[in-house]
Structure 1
Amino acid sequence: MQMLFKLLFCLGVVAAIAYCTICLYLYFQQPRFIFFPSSVIERTPESFGLPYEKVWLPVPATFGKVEHIHGWWIKANQLNPKVLLYLHGNGINIGANVAHAKRFHQLGFSVLLIDYRGYGRSEGSFPNEMRVYQDAATAWNYLVQQRQIPQKEIYIYGHSLGGAIAIDLAVKHPEAAGLIVESSFTSIQQLVTARNMFSVFPVNLILTQRFESIKKVPRLKMPVLFIHGTADSTVPAFMSKNLYAAAPEPKKLILVPGAEHNNTADVAGLQYLRWVQSFVEKVQALK
């Protein structure tokens, strides 16, 4: 019996050490469970017949270094001050987002697509929450200061994780024209809970990448459009419902029946363009 007790005690100690080790690993490595960048750009705007300009935006980094964000400026065909800052999700890079950006271009937007540091051709180390916020702010400043776009003509669009980045930027820049948030979540903690991930670990204690959009949307000062597919298995649609409920007016929520995480516009077809156009018209009417 004494030997059994010692064996069980030793096993308990080993299990406790292993558990703590995993917690420490998750604490320090969690960005790698959230961000999935690729350095390979498979498509450019040229692939879709869109003339574009490459942009390189300097971002102050640690120890006095300067890193550069890579992006594409796709100018509208007609004379129109309307601009869309496109913030993509956590996977791949801007090359996987050109087809969707083309939809906004069809609606008369000039579009700025950027890759966060660590994605595509952008410089820098592996991304994290604070860096992507800084990258989005750098893109905003580029539009305002270098392109001299009136702030009231800039719409901010974000898909999935990009939606959380877009919300953060919109709160900091209430002078923006409007905000479009597609297939996004309330917070990383609530997303982990909803998907029943890492339930045996003290997620709230070890979480450093929080993206707490649900706490930010009540501070929005601009019209916001939420879009979400009802069949989204990556981010459940109730999260956009909760974001919508927490956001002030004017606001609109569109749920796309049968759409998954990355295909709301494909499923909706031309109706997607009509929703965005209607949103823009309402924004213009409020001015």
Structure 2
Amino acid sequence: MKKKTKILISILAVMTAALTAGSFWAGNYLVDYALYRADQAPQSANDGKAPVNETYGNEEANKAEEQRLTDLWLDTVVLEKKEIVSEDGLTLRALQYTADPASHRYALVIHGYTSNKEAMQTEARHFSELGYTVITPDNRAHGESDGLYIGMGWLDRKDLLLWIDQVVNQDPDAEIVLYGVSMGGATVMMTAGEVLPSNVKAIIEDCGYTSVYEMFKNQLDYRFGLPEFPFLATADIMTGIRAGYHFKEASAVKQLEKATVPMMFIHGSNDTYVPTKMVYQVYEACPTEKELLVIEGAAHAASADVDPQLYWDSIAAFLGRFLA
């Protein structure tokens, strides 16, 4: 009997070890798939990460017209390359678009997951037309910026504080607006919970998520049909080891509870990538003056394409309340 018990215990121990090793392998794979910079990871690890949006109404025609206007605008502004060094020693790069050198208004425009600063040129144009000098950074592990691991907004919030400091050091009279889409939206929401200089007057987020944990939980089910346990738990451990942060601490909701500046929240009603329900959670968490805009029929990061007139008119009206 004792011999059988020992054999059973040995079998269970081997099975437990195998399951543990397998879950950690899967967790490590998920880090490679989701967080290792796209231009360094194996191709198979990054296929299909970007959402595929269904078009709605005149979306494609709107995008084409916006791009035409942006191409014309680019000939009217001065482009300047900018750099900062992050707290962990990464060189981060940005482009600055200046139409009026005398302006004290600045918009920091933050791109989304696996995107880059050039992808934000249309957004930069709209802020420029409102009188802002626009800075579009490449987030860490994106574009021309250094870094191997995507910060999902949490590491990026500290980087954004440094971009803000650079603007204020160069122009103490600066009036700054933060704007971000998708992961950029999460970045500016997470930044809202930090101690900000009085120069920051308003923050606008478009389709950002409530937390990195909830975002990955949703994607684990949506993309792989996998449960959050044990895969998300082991991925979180490996992210802590490799990238230096944990999913649950990276919470836009918790950061927004500490917000001190006016906030605008935008989301598409048909967003399944970052579910539309998340915008109501972040909106409710914010204690400051705030506005909510849900664009009917828009999928993820497509609100400005579905109804550019409503989108940008609403932003202009919101900013008009808080900037002289």
Given the two structures, how large is their TM-score scaled by the length of structure 2? Answer: 0.73
Q: Are the counterparts in 1 of residues 84 and 93 from structure 2 also a CA contact under 8 Å? A: no
Listed one character per residue, the Cα deviations across residues 91-115 of structure 1 (whole Å, up to 9, x for unaligned) are 2211222122222222222110000
Aligned identity (percent) is 23
- State how far apart, in whole Å, the 1-side matches of 2:233 and 2:123 are: 34
Matching residue of 2:83: 57
Give the stretch that moved more between structures: 11-20 or 160-169: 11-20
Instruction: Tell me how far 1:204 sits from its aligned partner.
Output: 5.0
Which one of 83, 89, 93 corresponds to residue 106 of structure 2? Answer: 83
Q: Are the counterparts in 2 of residues 37 and 90 from structure 1 also a CA contact under 8 Å? A: no
What is the identity, as a one-letter code, of the residue corresponding to 2:259? L
User: Is residue 161 from structure 1 mapped to residue 161 from structure 2 by the alignment?
Assistant: no
Instruction: Tell me how far 1:69 sits from its aligned partner.
Output: 1.4
TM-aligned CA distance change 1:15 to 1:181, over 3 Å: same
Matching residue of 1:278: 317
Matching residue of 2:44: none
Gaps of 5+ in 1: none
Instruction: Tell me how far 1:281 sits from its aligned partner.
Output: 1.1
- State how far apart, in whole Å, the 1-side matches of 2:181 and 2:27 are: 25
- State how far apart, in whole Å, the 1-side matches of 2:32 and 2:168 are: 30
TM-aligned CA distance change 1:213 to 1:32, over 3 Å: same
Instruction: Tell me how far 1:245 sits from its aligned partner.
Output: 0.8
Which one of 151, 161, 175 corresponds to residue 137 of structure 1? Answer: 161
Question: Between Structure 1 and Structure 2, how many residues are aligned?
Answer: 274
Give the stretch that moved more between structures: 125-134 or 30-39: 30-39
Q: Are the counterparts in 2 of residues 184 and 235 from structure 1 also a CA contact under 8 Å? A: yes
TM-aligned CA distance change 1:48 to 1:123, over 3 Å: farther
Which one of 151, 168, 186 corresponds to residue 210 of structure 2? Answer: 186
Q: Where do residues 1-287 of structure 1 align in structure 2 (5 Å cutoff)? A: 13-14=14-15, 16-23=17-24, 26=27, 30=31, 32-34=33-35, 37-38=38-39, 47=71, 49-50=73-74, 51-60=77-86, 66-77=89-100, 79-128=102-151, 131-146=155-170, 148-151=171-174, 153-172=175-194, 173=196, 175=198, 176-195=200-219, 196=221, 198-201=227-230, 203=232, 206-207=235-236, 208-210=246-248, 211-284=250-323
Give the stretch that moved more between structures: 48-57 or 170-179: 48-57
What is the identity, as a one-letter code, of the residue corresponding to 1:201? P
- State how far apart, in whole Å, the 2-side matches of 1:54 and 1:233 are: 37
Listed one character per residue, the Cα deviations across residues 243-269 of structure 1 (whole Å, up to 9, x for unaligned) are 001111310111001001121101112
Q: Are the counterparts in 2 of residues 35 and 90 from structure 1 also a CA contact under 8 Å? A: no
What is the identity, as a one-letter code, of the residue corresponding to 2:34? F
TM-aligned CA distance change 1:82 to 1:60, over 3 Å: closer
Instruction: Tell me how far 1:28 sits from its aligned partner.
Output: 8.4
- State how far apart, in whole Å, the 1-side matches of 2:193 and 2:72 are: 33
Give the stretch that moved more between structures: 260-269 or 10-19: 10-19
Q: Are the counterparts in 2 of residues 107 and 277 from structure 1 also a CA contact under 8 Å? A: yes
- State how far apart, in whole Å, the 2-side matches of 1:35 and 1:264 are: 28
What is the identity, as a one-letter code, of the residue corresponding to 2:310? Q
Q: Are the counterparts in 1 of residues 111 and 120 from structure 2 also a CA contact under 8 Å? A: yes
What is the identity, as a one-letter code, of the residue corresponding to 1:232? D
Listed one character per residue, the Cα deviations across residues 67-123 of structure 1 (whole Å, up to 9, x for unaligned) are 421111011348432211111111221122212222222222211000023211123
RMSD over aligned Cα, in angstroms?
Answer: 3.3
Instruction: Tell me how far 1:19 sits from its aligned partner.
Output: 4.2
- State how far apart, in whole Å, the 1-side matches of 2:260 and 2:82 are: 30
Q: Are the counterparts in 2 of residues 231 and 260 from structure 1 also a CA contact under 8 Å? A: yes
Instruction: Tell me how far 1:218 sits from its aligned partner.
Output: 1.4
Instruction: Tell me how far 1:14 sits from its aligned partner.
Output: 4.6
- State how far apart, in whole Å, the 1-side matches of 2:149 and 2:235 are: 19
What is the identity, as a one-letter code, of the residue corresponding to 2:80? K
SS in 1 for 2:257: helix
- State how far apart, in whole Å, the 2-side matches of 1:56 and 1:31 are: 29
What is the identity, as a one-letter code, of the residue corresponding to 1:76? A
What is the identity, as a one-letter code, of the residue corresponding to 1:157? Y
Instruction: Tell me how far 1:238 sits from its aligned partner.
Output: 0.8
